[in-house]
Amino acid sequence: MLIGELSKKSGFSRDTIRFYEKIGLIKLEDDLRDRYQFKDYSEGVLKRLQAIRKMKEYGFTLQETQGLFLLFEEGILDPVRGIRYVERKIRRIEQQINELNSMKEKLQEIVDRPSGEVCPIDEVLHAMNC
């Protein structure tokens, strides 16, 4: 199929698809163009794009996705490794959540603090005589 159809079916813009091609995240298995010199994408590429979409939803970066695809293609991705990989990702996400929670708590303290004449973001700007 041509890039327009692939774009519609995958939900990625043409530019994004071309960008993914440029970084090697998707490949045209044979770059034999049809008689009009247009690229002809296979069903496999569409499936790959759908997998990329999933990966994005799971919070994986393109680089992580690419690494996982590589492992998969080399047949190194057995259940045990796969689970470990996902568990590491979960821990990274948990770290991010913790950081955000600590930010949130600090900010909540500012909001909750009974303030009379005191500037509510005094904690933030305390050095500036707010």
Per CB under 7 A, does 49 bind DNA? no
Distances (CA, A) of 105 to 75, 100, 110, 116, 125: 45, 9, 9, 21, 17
- Binding string, 52-71, against DNA, x = CB under 7 A? ----x----xxx--------
How far apart CA 130 and CA 125 sit, in angstroms, is: 6
Query: Which does residue 58 bind out of its own copies, DNA, none, counting CB within 5 to 8 angstroms by kind?
Result: its own copies
- List all residues 6 or more positions away from 130 whose beta carbon is below 8 Å from its beta carbon: 119, 121, 122, 124
Q: Which of 2, 76, 93, 125 binds DNA (CB under 7 A)?
A: 2
Q: For residues 5 and 87, which CB has a smaller minimum distance to DNA in the complex?
A: 5
Q: Is 32 in the site for its own copies (CB under 8 A)?
A: no
By CB under 8 A, tell whether 17 contacts its own copies.
no
Phi, psi of 83 (to 5 degrees): -65, -45
Q: Which residues contact residue 5 at a Cβ distance below 8 angstroms, ignoring those fewer than 6 apart?
A: 41
* Residue whose CB is less far from DNA, 19 or 122: 19
**CA atoms within 13 A of residue 53's CA, in its CB half-sphere:** 14
Which residues contribute to the site for its own copies (CB under 8 A)? 47-48, 50-51, 54-55, 57-60, 68, 72, 77-79, 82-83, 85-87, 89-90, 93-94, 96-97, 100-101, 103-104, 106-108, 110-111, 115, 117-121, 123-128, 130
